[in-house]
Chain A
Amino acid sequence: MSIQVRNLSHVYNKGLAAEQKALDNINFDIYDGEVVGIIGHTGSGKSTLLQHLNGLIKADCGNIIIDGKDITKQGISMRDIRRRVGLVFQYPEYQLFEETVAKDVAFGPKNLGLSEAEVESRVREALEMVRIDYDEYGQRSPFELSGGQKRRVAIAGVIAMKPQVLILDEPTAGLDPGAHKDILNLIKDVHERQNNIIILVSHNMEDVANLSDKVMVMDRGKLIMVGTPQEIFSRRDRLEAIALNVPPVTEMMYEVKERGIEIDTSPLNIKSAEDVIYNYLKRIEMNR
């Protein structure tokens, strides 16, 4: 399973005064089992790209090849694309609509034409993965749940379709720290169990740094950088120039360095920052 995107472009409002090149000759590859983070400021083209990947928008030009199949070609069935590529929108809890949690999660798998028994087993499995107890919550209205629980149910609805590519657009936005952690853990779990490709769009650089194998940076419709989190977040000035930033701990290390202290600015999480600072302070102490 892999994704190849070649020469993909898309223009909104073509021929009108408000014409805007939303995607400008995008090329990339995503390999089997990768977790890919996409960052970019509002309007950089991230959402347009996601919508192309699951066939919501037809490409103006270029090719999107998912598992060897070019989804931009005529005669491709949408159901076929969406079976492979599941998209969790921003604030997906607003899309819950069924009378019960179980029915809501069953909606997707049912539409795939699966047997009743298979749908039932997928609903149970998906709810278990997002840590919503089927027996306790399955027959409850989704609208009675907390914000974090609603979001997990909405994600379960997509997971239940067992997509080979799971795309999440800002999955942690607006959640409190506890619910935020729950969602991150659940993404890791799903990835481990389904071994799918995960594409994560987020403004939270710490999450992107800590979850992704590969980070893609978008600016004004162009894909301007692709690399490991380590490579991407070592280019703080370049990121700042396009209104992005590095994770908070990384920012702190850069600020220390700017004050004339020779320190490693590579830490992307608290644990490694702790080690770097500890070692620095110990070295200073020994030299005294």
Chain B
Amino acid sequence: MENIIRIENLIFDYPREEGKDVLRAIKGISLDIEKGSFTAVIGRNGSGKSTLAKLLNGLYVPTEGVIYVENWDTADDNHVWDVRQTAGMVFQNPDNQLVSSIVEDDVAFGPENIGTAPDEIRTRVNKALNDVRMGEYRLKAPHMLSGGQKQRVAIAGVLAMKPKCIIFDEPTAMLDPKGRHDVLRIIKNLNAEGITTILITHFMDEAVQADRVLIINDGEIILDGNPAEVFSHADEIKDAGLDVPVAVELAVRLRKRGIKIPDDVITVEDMVDFICQYK
């Protein structure tokens, strides 16, 4: 399979005020992201995961090492817009991402800025809003929407740029249960349609739905694999100040009491299946 993102020996330092040491947020990461894949990135606040996200779409450039997005070097000024169109970003707070007073204007903002023809803008906006199931709200004011709906509009705004990859930085952190559920379903649909998906999250039940899970701690990748592989390292994950998914936690506890539970019981569904085989 082809890789859409290649990261080689990445180091990133935040400059500090005079007289202070720089803060090294990324301490040597090499990583490839396969086209069409769904990768979840987990790490505590300050672990470097959001910094990594901002490096991926050229908001920051590497201090050392190199990042290629579709073979464009993110540090190359001539291709910064190519990089950003290829890899779109959705942030935590939808209120900070919406700019217009009408939903469809907001979605049109990106394509307008790159000089897309009006007919094409119309087509893209309609498709993007339908993809996030917000078509019927296209003439509403964003501030009248719920958090989950706003976040879906923000996603539509990114979709209208026709990205090949979307990086979601804790997109559900501020949402209620329904909003979280809806946004996650949209993310999974978009991935199923071929958009490479990188989901940064603190919710382990979201992470288990990815094909691949990366755990970042203190600027380094400490675990990388499919959810079953990664979450079998429950102790290491807890040492990094993180949680494991509910089903994994239960499995660990039940194993300690002598119940034999297979290692690939990771999701709630897995655990339900496991229990239900004993009737």
Q: Give the interface of A toward B (CB within 8 A).
A: 18, 41-43, 146-148, 173-180, 203, 205, 243-245, 248-249, 251-252, 255-256, 259-261, 263, 270, 273-274, 277-278, 280-281, 284
Pick from A179, A245, A255: contact of B45, CB under 8 Å:
A179
Pick from A174, A180, A252: contact of B247, CB under 8 Å:
A252
Residue of B nearest to A18 (CB): B144
Closest Cβ–Cβ distance, residue A95 to chain B (whole Å) = 15
For the A-B complex, the count of residue pairs with Cβ-Cβ distances under 8 Å equals 106
Interface residues of B in 242-268 (CB under 8 A from A): 242-243, 246-247, 249-250, 253-254, 257, 259, 268
Residue of A nearest to B49 (CB): A176
In the complex, chain A residues whose CB is within 8 Å of the CB of B175? 42, 203
In the complex, chain B residues whose CB is within 8 Å of the CB of A280? 275, 278
Q: How far is the CA of A20 from the CA of B249 in the complex (A)?
A: 44
In the complex, chain A residues whose CB is within 8 Å of the CB of B257? 274, 278
**Does the CB pair B147–A42 fall under 8 Å?**
yes
Interface residues of B in 85-100 (CB under 8 A from A): 92
Interface residues of B in 131-178 (CB under 8 A from A): 144, 146-148, 170, 173-178
Closest Cβ–Cβ distance, residue A218 to chain B (whole Å) = 12
Closest Cβ–Cβ distance, residue A287 to chain B (whole Å) = 10
**Does the CB pair A146–B250 fall under 8 Å?**
no
**Does the CB pair A173–B254 fall under 8 Å?**
no
In the complex, chain A residues whose CB is within 8 Å of the CB of B278? 280-281, 284
**Does the CB pair A256–B44 fall under 8 Å?**
no
**Does the CB pair A42–B243 fall under 8 Å?**
no
Residue of B nearest to A271 (CB): B253
In the complex, chain A residues whose CB is within 8 Å of the CB of B46? 146-147
**Does the CB pair B272–A176 fall under 8 Å?**
no
Most buried by B among A179, A249, A252, A273: A252
Chain A at the B interface: SS class: helix
**Does the CB pair B176–A176 fall under 8 Å?**
no
Pick from A18, A251, A261, A281: contact of B268, CB under 8 Å:
A251
Closest Cβ–Cβ distance, residue A151 to chain B (whole Å) = 10
Pick from B45, B173, B177, B249: contact of A270, CB under 8 Å:
B249
What are some 9 contacts across the A-B interface (CB < 8 A)? A173-B173, A177-B243, A203-B180, A243-B178, A248-B246, A248-B268, A252-B271, A255-B269, A261-B279
Asked if B115 lies at the interface with its beta carbon under 8 angstroms from chain A, I say no
Question: Which 4 pairs show the lowest CB-CB distances between chains A and B?
Answer: A243-B178, A178-B241, A177-B243, A176-B44
In the complex, chain A residues whose CB is within 8 Å of the CB of B177? 41, 203, 205, 243-245
**With A176-B242, A270-B250 given, is the CB distance from A256 to B272 under 8 Å?**
yes
Q: Give the interface of B toward A (CB within 8 A).
A: 43-46, 92, 144, 146-148, 170, 173-180, 202, 204-205, 241-243, 246-247, 249-250, 253-254, 257, 259, 268-269, 271-272, 275-276, 278-279
Residue of A nearest to B146 (CB): A42
In the complex, chain A residues whose CB is within 8 Å of the CB of B242? 176-178
Q: How far is the CA of A179 from the CA of B202 in the complex (A)?
A: 11
In the complex, chain B residues whose CB is within 8 Å of the CB of A173? 173-174
Most buried by B among A42, A205, A251, A284: A42
**With A177-B242, A273-B250 given, is the CB distance from A261 to B176 under 8 Å?**
no
**With A252-B247, A278-B259 given, is the CB distance from A177 to B44 under 8 Å?**
yes
In the complex, chain B residues whose CB is within 8 Å of the CB of A243? 176-178
**Does the CB pair A176–B275 fall under 8 Å?**
no
Most buried by B among A18, A278, A281: A281
Q: How far is the CA of A277 from the CA of B87 in the complex (A)?
A: 44
Q: How far is the CA of A49 from the CA of B185 in the complex (A)?
A: 31
Closest Cβ–Cβ distance, residue B258 to chain A (whole Å) = 9
**Does the CB pair B246–A174 fall under 8 Å?**
no
Q: How far is the CA of A3 from the CA of B102 in the complex (A)?
A: 42
